[in-house]
Structure 1
């Protein structure tokens, strides 16, 4: 079932067992953040400024590198892009986008600025909406290797890792729908 986002301006099918992080802490107005109730998996939906200086085919990589910077995964070898593919508009509910992209990669990320680094698969969906000067970025953070020294190691077990799948993420991307373009200002 689709869940309202940004006050009902957008909607999408959010993966099962998702907890709305805005119920726990302050989230910027341009973000919706959901975390799996039992793992460190998370999904972030962001309304960002359209990057007109970046070609559509390079835009997902541009945003991935920006996320790497935010995650302090900027050292050589601390991130990699594995694949970038165009998402066919015929498979998307968000028909207002000029193009859509799916990037898969990985980053070495420390939680709460700890020394310990965790390997996190990053799946990034990007919807380009130049008519609204907006890029919608949807990021699925999927930890695959937790350092024993990380605060995330407490209580984590291999049996609960990976409860959300790339198929769940693809369903979210395919179900994302614009209801009120007024959200873009």
Structure 2
């Protein structure tokens, strides 16, 4: 069972609980100003919180927000979109945000193109992407948990998303996402006018 600590993001303007065994990547290398990146010290999973300009037209709803989620996923995976399979998309409730702020989460997998695998390339990477739509400040917040599955580092028998078998790595990532949804809050709204 993972342990968590309340973590200040973007100088404390945002806060949420992150796993205690995750390290702030900015202490190791440069990270863009609009991102906070945390990586598992004991594995390969990363958590990225990114502030981006809001995409899509005004208003909210399944169609508008679903299109925005697709746009962000396409930006995330770039030209490798054909190697991505989305398993589910669901509205997401953030306990400490106003309930009228729409949020959605998708779970997807990305499989490297053939010929790319080998060495330490993952068999596939699970992606848990949560989108928070802050229309009043023209901002989207993306919370992405990337879970590379590298041969020998996970039990292949435990993972079959078509059968609903997530395995330990994805299960842990879902737990991390759930904890973020429960604890994420905005402490300083001025952040969104600065980035």
Q: TM-score range by the shorter chain?
A: 0.7 to 0.9
Q: Provide the secondary structure at the position in 2 that maps to 1:28.
A: coil
Task: Show CA shifts across 1:130-154 (max 9, x none).
Answer: 111100000000122x26xxxxxxx
In the alignment, which of 76, 91, 106 is matched to residue 67 of structure 1?
76
Cα separation, 2, equivalents of 1:96 and 1:28: 30
Q: What's the C-alpha RMSD, in Å, of the aligned pairs?
A: 2.3
Q: TM-score, length-normalised on structure 2?
A: 0.77
In the alignment, which of 82, 85, 98 is matched to residue 87 of structure 2?
82
Residues 10-89 of structure 1 mapped to structure 2, 5 A cutoff: 10-53=14-57, 55-69=64-78, 72-74=79-81, 76=82, 78-88=83-93
Question: Any runs of at least 4 consecutive aligned residues in structure 1 with deviations exceeding 4 A, and if so which?
Answer: none
Q: Which runs of 5+ in 2 are unaligned?
A: 58-62, 156-167
Cα separation, 1, equivalents of 2:72 and 2:19: 23
- 2:101 aligns with 98
1:168 corresponds to 2:176 = yes
Residues 133-148 of structure 1 mapped to structure 2, 5 A cutoff: 133-144=138-149, 146=150
Q: Provide the secondary structure at the position in 2 that maps to 1:73.
A: helix
Cα separation, 1, equivalents of 2:175 and 2:77: 23
Cα separation, 2, equivalents of 1:36 and 1:164: 11
